[in-house]
Amino acid sequence: MSHPVNTAIMEQIGDDVAELTTTQIAQELELPIDALGLKAFGDTPQPIEGNEILFTGYDILTYDELFDRLCTQRLEEYPDGPQ
């Protein structure tokens, strides 16, 4: 069950992260950037410039996956942690 404070914090974090590019998110998550792709594959949404697919080592991550990871990390690092 979500605490209302967590919901408000996560919305603010989401707004902040939404302004970042794939490269900026990868750097903050300390992920190596082997390549960035603009070609959709499988059931992934069509990437756009700035929100590319990240190829790093054996991982292939969409912008949405990176977005979720960074939001979660920032929530966990938030002062006093998640409520």
Nearest-angstrom CA–CA distance, 10 and 4: 10
Residue with tokens 């974090």: 13
Distances 79 to 9, 28, 53, 76 between C-alpha atoms, Å: 11, 18, 31, 8
pLDDT at 1: 41
Instruction: Convert the pLDDT of each residue in 9-22 to its tens digit.
Output: 889 999 999 999 99
Closest CA to 45 of 59, 29, 65: 65
Closest CA to 16 of 7, 25, 29: 25
pLDDT at 80: 63
Tokens of 49: 């410039």
Instruction: Convert the pLDDT of each residue in 29-81 to its tens digit.
Output: 999 999 999 998 788 889 999 999 999 988 999 999 999 999 999 988 877 65
